[in-house]
Structure 1
Amino acid sequence: MKTTLKALALVTAAGVSGIANAAAPTWEDGTTQFNKTFTASGTVLGKEFSQKWQWAVGPGLPNLQGALSQAQASNGNKVTITIPQDTPILVGKTAEAFAVPETFTQGGVGAIPHIVFKNDDQTVSLADPAYTGAPASITIDVKDAGNTKIGTAKLNVITAGIEVVGKSGLAAQQKVLYGPHDNSIFRGGLPVSGLVVSKNVTETATTVMSFGGLSPDEMKIQVGANTLAPQYGGCYDENMAYDSGEKVSASYVLGFKAGNTIEVTFDAGRKPSTTTQWTASLGIQVTYV
């Protein structure tokens, strides 16, 4: 159905633009047998633009330790574990700068990556930070060595998206990203509210680079720009659609900054009495619109 709707939209757009410059019709009177064919043709694009994106998942955190003595009835049987070093969870980037025609501002050709988090087979959402500079969070199940659920883990994470938009040989603009709409790149992996997103481009770029994402210079080179324009406050959502020659280079990161925490809360009656091995697995899917 989606492909059909896209095909209809293309034909409709072609028809509207053709009327203004239509050639004079060739009229035939009713004495002539009339049996003609009208042909409309065009291209329905597949999702080839998904190939313009690259993704990597971090190595995991296999040896975290927390004190079982922290888990008391007074704190809801919670153990807080501090992450000692910057640790990437998911990193994404454009393999090369690109843009799609503005016909596809709502997607349809695979240019817009969406990020989906899974707890077993169930989708879980990234919770926006409580305030600018605070961590976002994802809550998933905690299981013991026998794969039995014994609680939940709240992952307090940093997330950031940045882009450079420009034309070859001209100054390009750096922009901090958020993900408010279904046609926003990195939707699902960035805050929905721009109010809690840092507007500091330099700070965001540093975060992205520290987790293995693209640097501003790498993005500038991808778009072919000769310099980066002055940085202004604000955050933006991006749909990759431009008709005036611009291209987009973008990068995304999700991870733990040193000092972020994982809060393990044991279910009622599931608090271990002795040293216990536990796991908390976050499934990650990237889909394309």
Structure 2
Amino acid sequence: MSKIIDFNCTYDNSVGINEEVTEKTGLHFPEAYKHWDSMAMLAEELKKYDNANFCGLPFCHTVEGEAMGGIINLGNEKTGPRAKDYICTKAEEILNLPEIDYSKGRISEVLKACKYLRDKGENVLLYISGPFTIMNVLIDPRHVFKLFRKEPDTMKAIFDKFQKETLRFVEEAKKAGVNMISYADSSGGLNILGPKYAEQTVEMFTYPLLKNIEKMIDDEMIVLLCPKTTFALLGTDKAVWKDINLGGSIKYSEACEKVMGQAKFVGQMCIKNKDFELKDGIIKTIALL
């Protein structure tokens, strides 16, 4: 087996909010984070400000955790929503949390905003979080790592619960017309989990999840992996690079759009690195084994 290497990302906690943009919109915060129309307006303004080729939603990593009962601080015009208080005191309690209802709450508003923007002809990038990032909303991480170490079977059951919810989220995104999905789990990177548990996470969660997503999505959708996830897959021999030559210098985000239909996964750079350029025109896509 190869060795997992880490990716030094400076965007781990970026939520895509810019005070200059929020002031320009005239929206009231945190109310603007609750409703699809204000979310859509904010996404469009951020796209213009960043000179991006997509509208990104949501503006945080908390929607899934909140939809499972998590308590959120909705933030303001300077910072997006973030976790407030933990609702679980034992990791096993996560198994008793309700399934996500995609027809109500902020997660429903996110999907409505996605559909509205797609209907307008925008590329829509939906940010989906991995299990450790979601659990950060629900429980003190120390309890999770203790369970991982002492009760791997229970940890597997928790992973299975999150995989089911993530696949349901992807299905709802498809219904909304989303054509780009970003998957990241910055709270579950090699630098936090260590080699042993990073490898087990790939085996127990990440690889099975992505294989299922691969079956679900069509040629009009692509998944942009966080490079931390990419290197975890490569380091456990679950994936290989596959180069596609686009013929000349191109921004990474634009290259991701262009290879839609030719690849299901990309992930050599963080999509939040808006100015990253592929000077040789070659994008490294990811083929799962």
Structure showing greater Rg: 1
Q: Say which structure is richer in strand.
A: 1
Does TM, normalized by the shorter one, top 0.5? no
User: Whose RCO is larger (CA < 8 A, sep 6+)?
Assistant: 1
TM-score range, shorter chain: under 0.3
**TM-score, normalization by structure 2:** 0.25
